[in-house]
């Protein structure tokens, strides 16, 4: 039994080296059926972290510690899982244990100190927040913002965006140049007005003889976004798009990516639709790079304004009364109607529970019913949950994103639940394809297109992330 466990563990290690993390998890899981050792549990925990299942990683680390309380690697895994969930205070507790166990390890001390510094920064930020303080948008007078005379890029005349300006913006970003600070603030203020006018779930109408393209996560992969537009055509009143969240983080061109989408929304408010993802929030932005990127490219004030805009993004969309689109998936209650999803106040940070949280964090599962999420947030929902929700709300299909897929998309739950993911070669390492769906208004039947990644210059994924001494 021990020999078979060792063989399967080594098999998992080989899959891991090839970045085939789901295969690695399968091998480690099989190994654990023969022998539950702290080493195999921590190996599987690391693979879970690679596929963004920190809840499962923390559970494996806890089991490893129940077997061997002094197993240092398990505390590292727990700390990384808590960081992935934006729970830096919990991670610091784990890293304190590590430092106690290996006080002379400089790497452990560096990770602990980096995490401690971040916790202090967050505490300071929380301490100075006041519920009565004006929002960033309320403190800005656009007319007081001037553009430096040396700036040679496109300029917004007043607050009116034109097709010429947006084309120039995309070209400038492609050349790794920034637009004027005044103009990015203008775009954020204008798109904020639009989002504030919308309900949690927005109804989208597509004429019978026209189409809409639904895209999943793009995660700061701006050059792949440009390629997507090259393949499928630029956004226009006759070429509608819906981007289903996670515009930022991980990819190191997140500012360019999300600003392009926001500029298009201002230019064509009825032709491009944007849903919030679980990464359009402060806790994720602190860890996965967007905060660091914006502050490096602009400043704190621009980042704070982005956060305010993220807090106003719609939770999802319903296309032609038939296709339900949200970033994560369905909820923990059986009797939820669309009107119930319209009730929560979405204007704030993503809550840790409730309908909005579940909509942005949930995942489908093959078995019936519901299960706790391996992410550590939200839940997993089965085909019976999907079928009941669709029947109750007179819908035909759920489209969600939130998970990388080898081919860019997966159809599950008897064809009634589609996952779409539009960031090919995710994090510059996974090797997956991207995909998008086209729906014609007349029948709303999905037609899939997959595409490969393109090369991009400069910074690799996670370049701007708060890496806590390399843990991420």
Map out the domains of the chain with their CATH numbers. Answer: 2-128 (1.25.40.10), 150-451 (3.60.21.10)
The pLDDT assigned to 467 comes to 61
Per 3-state DSSP, the chain is made up of helix, strand and coil in percentages (nearest 5) of 45, 15, 40
Q: Which two tokens stand for residue 24?
A: 């690695």
Query: With contact defined as beta carbons under 8 Å apart, do 382 and 370 qualify?
Result: yes
Let me know the angle formed at the C-alpha of 470 by 468 and 472, rounded to the nearest 5 degrees.
Answer: 80
The confidence band for 133, taking pLDDT boundaries of 50, 70 and 90, is confident
Alpha carbon distance 358, 347 (integer Å)? 16
Query: With contact defined as beta carbons under 8 Å apart, do 45 and 81 qualify?
Result: yes
**Burial grade of 438 (CB within 10 A; 0-12, 13-18, 19 or more):** middle
pLDDT(457) > 80: yes
The confidence band for 250, taking pLDDT boundaries of 50, 70 and 90, is very high
| 338-361 residue pLDDT tens | 999 999 999 999 999 999 999 999
The pLDDT assigned to 470 comes to 60
The confidence band for 190, taking pLDDT boundaries of 50, 70 and 90, is very high
Higher model confidence: residue 132 or residue 228? Answer: 228
Q: Active-site residues: which are they?
A: 279
Alpha carbon distance 279, 28 (integer Å)? 29
Span 3-25, average pLDDT: 94
Q: Which helix (H) or strand (E) holds 419?
A: strand 417-420
| 218-244 residue pLDDT tens | 999 999 999 999 999 999 999 999 999
By DSSP bridging, strand 397-400 and strand 323-326 are: parallel
Alpha carbon distance 3, 8 (integer Å)? 9
Alpha carbon distance 251, 196 (integer Å)? 27
Span 318-332, average pLDDT: 98
pLDDT(458) > 90: no
The confidence band for 466, taking pLDDT boundaries of 50, 70 and 90, is low
Give the count of beta carbons closer than 10 Å to the beta carbon of residue 437: 26
Q: What is the DSSP string of 309-371?
A: HHTTS-SEEEETTTEEEESS---S-SS--HHHHTSS--SSSPPSSSHHHHHHH-EE-SSSSEE
Backbone angles phi, psi at 186, to 5 degrees: -60, -45
The pLDDT assigned to 2 comes to 77
The pLDDT assigned to 472 comes to 62
Alpha carbon distance 82, 235 (integer Å)? 38
The pLDDT assigned to 471 comes to 64
pLDDT(165) > 60: yes
Any idea which residue has 């905060």 for tokens? 291
The pLDDT assigned to 132 comes to 81
Alpha carbon distance 387, 275 (integer Å)? 23
Alpha carbon distance 176, 457 (integer Å)? 8
| 27-86 residue pLDDT tens | 999 999 999 999 999 999 999 999 999 999 999 999 999 999 999 999 999 999 999 999
The pLDDT assigned to 88 comes to 93
Q: Which two tokens stand for residue 377?
A: 């947030």
Q: Which two tokens stand for residue 90?
A: 């919990």
Which residue, 435, 462, 458, is CA-closest to 447? Answer: 435
pLDDT(257) > 70: yes
pLDDT(318) > 90: yes
The pLDDT assigned to 64 comes to 97
Which residue, 238, 231, 277, 230, is CA-closest to 254? Answer: 277
Span 417-426, average pLDDT: 98
Query: With contact defined as beta carbons under 8 Å apart, do 277 and 310 qualify?
Result: no
Alpha carbon distance 273, 269 (integer Å)? 8
The pLDDT assigned to 127 comes to 83
Name 417's Cβ contacts closer than 8 Å, sequence gap at least 6.
Answer: 329, 364, 383, 386, 397, 398, 399, 400, 411
pLDDT(469) > 60: no
By DSSP bridging, strand 417-420 and strand 409-412 are: antiparallel
Alpha carbon distance 195, 310 (integer Å)? 9
By DSSP bridging, strand 370-372 and strand 379-381 are: antiparallel
Q: Which two tokens stand for residue 110?
A: 């560096």
Number of separate helices (H) and strands (E) present in the chain:
17, 14
The pLDDT assigned to 468 comes to 60
Span 174-193, average pLDDT: 98
């Amino acid at each position: 039994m021990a020999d078979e466990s060792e063989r399967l563990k080594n098999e998992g290690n080989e899959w891991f080296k090839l970045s085939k993390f789901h295969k690695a998890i399968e091998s480690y899981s099989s190994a654990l059926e023969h022998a539950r050792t702290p080493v195999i549990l921590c190996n599987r925990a690391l693979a879970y972290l690679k596929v963004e299942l920190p809840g499962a990683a923390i559970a494996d680390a806890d089991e490893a510690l129940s077997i061997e309380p002094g197993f240092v690697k398990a505390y590292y895994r727990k700390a990384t899982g808590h960081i992935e969930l934006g729970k830096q205070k919990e991670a610091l507790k784990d890293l304190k244990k590590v430092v106690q166990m290996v006080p002379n390890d400089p790497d452990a001390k560096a990770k602990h100190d980096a995490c401690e510094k971040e916790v202090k920064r967050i505490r300071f930020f929380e301490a100075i927040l006041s519920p009565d303080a004006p929002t960033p948008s309320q403190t800005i007078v656009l007319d007081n913002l001037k553009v430096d005379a040396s700036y040679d890029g496109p300029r917004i005349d007043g607050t009116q965006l034109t097709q010429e300006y947006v084309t120039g913006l995309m070209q400038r970003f492609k050349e790794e140049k920034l637009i004027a600070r005044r103009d990015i603030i203008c775009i954020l203020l204008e798109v904020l007005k639009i989002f504030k006018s919308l309900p949690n779930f927005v109804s989208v109408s597509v004429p019978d003889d026209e189409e809409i393209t639904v895209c999943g996560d793009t995660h700061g992969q701006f050059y792949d976004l440009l390629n997507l537009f090259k393949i499928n055509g630029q956004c226009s009143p006759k070429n509608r798009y819906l981007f289903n969240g996670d515009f930022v983080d991980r990819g190191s061109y997140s500012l360019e990516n999300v600003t392009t989408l926001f500029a298009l929304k201002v230019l064509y408010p009825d032709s491009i639709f944007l849903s919030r993802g679980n990464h359009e929030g402060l806790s994720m932005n602190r860890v996965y790079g967007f905060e660091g990127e914006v502050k490096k490219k602009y400043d704190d004030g621009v980042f704070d304004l982005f956060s305010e805009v993220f807090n106003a993004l719609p939770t999802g969309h319903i296309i032609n009364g038939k296709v339900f689109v949200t970033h994560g998936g369905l909820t923990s209650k059986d009797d939820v109607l669309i009107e119930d999803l319209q009730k929560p106040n979405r204007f704030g940070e993503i809550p840790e529970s409730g309908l909005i949280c579940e909509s942005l964090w949930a995942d489908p599962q093959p078995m019936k019913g519901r299960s706790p999420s391996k992410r550590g947030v939200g839940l997993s929902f089965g085909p019976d949950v999907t079928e009941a929700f669709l029947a109750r709300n007179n819908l035909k299909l759920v489209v969600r994103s939130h998970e990388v897929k080898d081919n860019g998309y997966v159809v599950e739950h008897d064809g009634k639940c589609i996952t779409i993911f539009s960031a090919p070669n995710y994090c510059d390492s996974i090797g997956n394809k991207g995909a998008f769906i086209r729906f014609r208004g007349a029948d709303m039947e999905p037609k899939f297109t997959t595409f490969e990644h393109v090369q991009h210059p400069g910074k690799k994924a996670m370049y701007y992330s708060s890496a806590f001494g390399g843990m991420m």
